[in-house]
Amino acid sequence: MIGIKLLGAGMYLPPKIVDNEDFTKIVDTSDEWITKRTGIKRRHLSEGEYTWSMGLKAAKNAIENAKINPLDIDMIIATTVSADFAFPSVSNIIQGKLEAKNAFGIDISCACAGFVYGLDMASRYIATNDDVKTVLIVSPENVTKTVDYSDRSTCVLFGDGAGAVVVTAGGEPLYSYLGTDGTGAELLYAHLYPASNGFTDSEKAKENQKAFPNETGRYMYMDGPEVYKFAIKAMPEAMEKACKKAGIKPSDLDLIIPHQANIRIIDTAIKNLGVDKEKVYVNIKETGNISAACIPVCLSQLIEQGKLKPGQKVGMVGFGAGLIYGAAVLTV
Ligand code: UT7
């Protein structure tokens, strides 16, 4: 099987930083609660910047890091749950702005597991499509636009930003495991559109939307404790299954990059996996949960810090709305 090689990674975090103390001014919370229950201290918030614009900055950064030309890119996969428009897609806008004329673009919506799904998709296109050798995966997220800043149980968790990577044919195959439990779809969601189209009766429209009620307008709904329970089971399960395909044990991994939703979820999942804590990369304290951007931002930081060494086996694992989960083992 044709493998994939990581050529480079990039990131963009918007300059506005909001710390826990800032939240005590708008909701009934404390730095102590947020730190202890989530591990988050600060997060970056976009100030009206478009999602595609953050993605473009991360993509340019990744292309520079990979030392390629935008014309070398055959495919752009954008993974986001916070696209600016219903159409056109984020990947199409970024393709145009990069002048990556040889690339076609696809957006995928796989919530916080989006980057792992994008990587899996890239490896399969590279393996089976002669036209695709080099792929840009870009994960820009503007999740805070869906956040209700009067809901203390969700607003403290999220930040904005973008991560991107360039992969190309070569090296070891990517080993991945992807899973969905759609019975949990109503545990975490955000509406895209108003209930009514403006012509039909809005009460009737509400009745039709009894599943996924939208009492809070456009905002995110999350049953935190239920998602938490799912995550601490799904993360180790996915990582174990991806490792099994790679013919290794989780403890053989050189590095693990988990989705950064809550430090307690990460600690519990890693304990359940039986992996040395030292091997786990965590940046949640500074970024909060930036959905699909979490893992590629971590990859970019690891490269910047010189911590990614050729030949290392890196495990990546994500979970999120859907409910969705997935893990991949990449040899860098
Ligand atoms: O990327 C995937 C997206 N989401 C996630 O991964 C989230 C998964 N879930 C979680 O991380 C956790 O469930 C939360 C951080 C959301 C909540 O933590 P928890 O330990 O599960 O708390 P809880 O929801 O059981 O609430 C415990 C208490 C409640 O008060 P009462 O009812 O016991 O009086 C909450 O109202 O904590 C309260 N609470 C807060 N207190 C201070 C909830 N949020 C806050 C807050 N500040 N920000």
DSSP string covering 246-276, please? HTS-GGG-SEEEE--S-HHHHHHHHHHHT--
CA-nearest residue, atom 2 of ligand 1: 320
What spacing in Å lies between the alpha carbon of 82 and ligand 1's midpoint? 23
Q: In what order do the strands lie in the sheet with 161-169?
A: 4-12, 161-169, 134-141, 75-79, 104-108
Across the chain, mean pLDDT equals 95
Those residues with Cβ within 8 angstroms of residue 166's Cβ, 6 or more apart along the chain or in another chain: 6, 7, 8, 9, 62, 63, 65, 66, 68, 73, 134, 135, 136, 137
Which pLDDT value is given to residue 39? 98
For ligand 1, mutation pick of 28, 33, 37, 323 (most atoms within 8 Å of CB) = 37
pLDDT per residue over 241-260, tens digit each? Answer: 999 999 999 999 999 999 99
Residue 200 pLDDT more than 80? no
Q: 225 CA distance to ligand 1 centroid (A)?
A: 7
Atom of ligand 1 nearest to the CA of 289: 1
Mutate to test the pocket of ligand 1, among 156, 158, 228 (most ligand atoms within 8 A of CB): 228
Residue 307, SS3 per DSSP: coil
Is 129 part of the annotated catalytic residue set?
no
pLDDT, residue 163, reads 98
Give the model confidence (pLDDT) of 15-65 as tens digits.
999 999 999 999 999 999 999 999 999 999 999 999 999 999 999 999 999
Catalytic status, residue 191: no
Residue 207 pLDDT: 84
Q: List, chain by chain if needed, residues with CB within 6 Å of any ligand 1 atom.
A: 29, 33-34, 37-38, 112, 152-153, 156, 222, 224-225, 227-228, 231, 261-262, 289, 320
Which pair of structure tokens corresponds to residue 45?
Answer: 């918030």
Closest CA to ligand 1's atom 7: 224
What pLDDT, on the 0 to 100 scale, is given for residue 216? 67
pLDDT at 244: 98
Q: How confident is the model over 84-93, as a mean pLDDT?
A: 97
Q: Report the separation in Å between the CA atom of 324 and the middle of ligand 1, taken as the mean of its atom positions.
A: 20
Pull the structure tokens for residue 74: 């055959």
Contact status, residue 258 vs residue 320, Cβ threshold 8 Å: no
Three-state secondary structure call for residue 222: strand
The predicted pLDDT at position 214 comes to 80
Per-residue pLDDT at 199 exceeds 90: no
- Note the residue count of the chain: 332
pLDDT-derived band at 197 (thresholds 50, 70, 90) equals: confident
Q: How far is the CA of 157 from the centre of ligand 1 (A)?
A: 9
Catalytic residue among 20, 44, 110, 112: 112
Residue type at position 145: K
Which of 259, 262, 294, 298 is an active site residue? 259
CA 229/CA 188 separation, integer angstroms: 13
Which atom from ligand 1 is nearest to the alpha carbon of 111? 1
Percent of the chain at pLDDT exceeding 90: 91
259 belongs to the catalytic site: yes
- The residue nearest atom 18 of ligand 1, judged by CA position, is 37
